[in-house]
Amino acid sequence: MLAPFCEGEAAEEPVVRLGQQAAGWWERQGVSVTRRGTVVVTLNRDRRELDRFARRTEGHTRLDAAALAALEPDLAGRFDQALHVTDEAHLDPRAALRHLRARLEGDGVSFVAEPGRGDGLTFDCRGLAARDAFPDLRGVKGEMAVLRAPDINLSRPVRLLHPRFPLYVVPRADGHFMLGATQIESDDRRRRVRSVLELLSAAYALHPVFGEAELVEIGADARPAFPDNLPRLIRRGETIHVNGLFRHGFLLAPALARMAVDMACDRGKPEFYHADHG
């Protein structure tokens, strides 16, 4: 998801501002980006959550039941109000990376899996694996599931606000949906039953048709994050470390890449420059 406005509910201002550039950047690389915004809903008893979310975010319009049904017909009758965050987008992250790689290889870039480093400047983007260099880098666990549910059609990501089990559902090709994501202060990477139960229960509450879906994949990983949950660019000798993108990898990577290049070319200190105290 490229959802800078929704992320603004809890994220710092730079995430919202810089994240708005992301969809255009990915499109310019030839990646398939769908720009249909995001729908935000709550269950009836959590209705105040929608008001709170609306107060703390920007870029949305309020929908009544009829407007929601017009936007997403398969949600008709399930929610009497919603938000439409109009200027958000979504892409398939794996497809996007495959596309980037193919393009780079076409330009003569070679990919190697062996450890080691070449001559000259190195960009270290190892994420949590760079914890040896940054003791305050921590893992924040995220778990997701992929379902195949051909009986429901959603054309844009849907967020279900819930005080305990928030959920987003992102439509993918061929009736597939990605459900995400837990956020646990842990670098454990095991797939836990409890988390999957929460994700699936929330999806079922969003629409019962997910109860009949095929469970295609369950994933778990740990997001690299610094204490302020904002990324950092740190230079140590001939290495520029780019890290701490937390849950905003695809959203902030374009801006971070530009800043890293600026740093490499000595064009001043970029916004996420961080003085090295290590």
Partner 1 sequence: MRLYGTEITSRLMLGTAQYPSPAVLAESFRRSGAGIATISVRREAGGDRAGAGFWNLVRDLGVALLPNTAGCHSVREAVTTAQMARELFDTPWIKLEVIGHADTLQPDPFGLVEAARILTDEGFNVFPYTTEDVVLADRLLQAGCEVLMPWGAPIGTGLGLTNIYGLRTLRAQFPDLPMVVDAGLGLPSQAAMAMEMGYDAVLLNTAVAKAGDPAAMAEGFARAVEAGRLAHEADPMEPRDMAAPSTPVIGRAFLS
CB closer to partner 1 out of 15 and 233: 15
Q: How far is the CB of 69 from partner 1 (least distance, A)?
A: 30
Shortest approach of partner 1 to residue 187 CB, angstroms? 5
Shortest reach from residue 168's CB to partner 1, in Å: 18
Q: Of 59 and 139, which CB lies nearer to partner 1 in the complex structure?
A: 139
Whole-number minimum distance, CB 202 to partner 1, in Å?
15
- Say if residues 184 and 255 touch (Cβ distance below 8 Å): no
Q: What are phi and psi of 172, to 5 degrees?
A: -120, -175
Handedness of CA 114, 116, 120, 126 (dihedral sign): positive
Of the pair 74, 187, the CB lying nearest partner 1 is at 187
Shortest Å distance, C-beta 127 to partner 1: 13
Closer to partner 1 by CB, 176 or 247: give it.
Answer: 247
Question: Which residue number, 90 or 232, has a Cβ lying nearer to partner 1?
Answer: 232
Give residues in contact with partner 1 (CB under 8 A). Answer: 10-12, 55-56, 136-139, 141, 163, 184-188, 190, 194, 225, 227-230
Nearer of residues 187 and 262 to partner 1, judged by Cβ: 187
The least distance separating partner 1 from the CB of residue 277, rounded to whole angstroms, comes to: 14
- Please report how close the Cβ of residue 192 comes to partner 1 at its closest, in angstroms: 8
66 vs 129, which CB is nearer to partner 1?
129
SS3 of the chain: CECHHHHCCCCCHHHHHHHCCHHHHHHHCCCCCECCCEEEEECHHHHHHHHHHHHHCCCEEEEEHHHHHHHCHHHCCCCCEEEEECCCEECCHHHHHHHHHHHHHHCCCCCCCCCCCCCCCEEECCHHHHHHCCCCCEEEEEEEEEEECCCCCCCCCEEEECCCCCEEEEECHHHEEEEECCCECCCCCCCCHHHHHHHHHHHHHHCHHHHHCEEEEEEEEEEEECCCCCCEEEEECCEEEEECCCCCHHHHHHHHHHHHHHHHCCCCCCCCECCCCC
